[in-house]
Structure 1
């Protein structure tokens, strides 16, 4: 779905496309940045993305292995308690 405008040279038309999902839900048709898989608007530009050592994802610890295991044990305990109560 590349347009054939005079400024679109053959290398431009043949370059790999970004493919990130747009707001419309269709793949982005912009050319990917050289050596990357995304275009400049979807993260291929220099300096894009989170900084190294980003701590923003460590806000609460809800998704750590320990907390997931704890929730699993609590869920099993509650289920077993319900089974015991139904037996009575």
Structure 2
């Protein structure tokens, strides 16, 4: 016995859509999360997105100007020590 049921999808069809663009360059057709401009897959979900304060952009100092000059001075010192050891070894 089959019962035909009509699904009420009016609210889903009338809800605002996500404003993100897909990899193919088309607009995302998923509904936006309530109170947000994006769907759950494009940043509307709770806890999604980058952390506040952008901890990913912190400088670690490896490529600063002072660090580079320090590394060059250490390299020169090691080269000089290698030459001195080579001279002492040959004598």
The offset of 1:22, in angstroms, is 0.3
Q: Could you list the runs of 5+ residues in structure 1 that have no partner in the other structure?
A: 1-5, 61-88
* TM-score under structure 2 length normalisation: 0.53
Count of aligned pairs: 55
Q: Could you list the runs of 5+ residues in structure 2 that have no partner in the other structure?
A: 1-5, 61-91
Which structure's CA Rg is the greater one? Answer: 2
The offset of 1:49, in angstroms, is 0.6
* TM-score under structure 1 length normalisation: 0.55
Aligned residue for 2:20?
20
| Separation (CA, whole Å) in 2 of partners of 1:34 and 1:56 | 29
| Separation (CA, whole Å) in 2 of partners of 1:11 and 1:25 | 26
Q: Following superposition, which runs of at least 4 residues in structure 1 exceed 3 angstroms of deviation? A: none
| Separation (CA, whole Å) in 2 of partners of 1:8 and 1:26 | 27
Between Structure 1 and Structure 2, the one with more helix by share is 2
The offset of 1:51, in angstroms, is 1.4
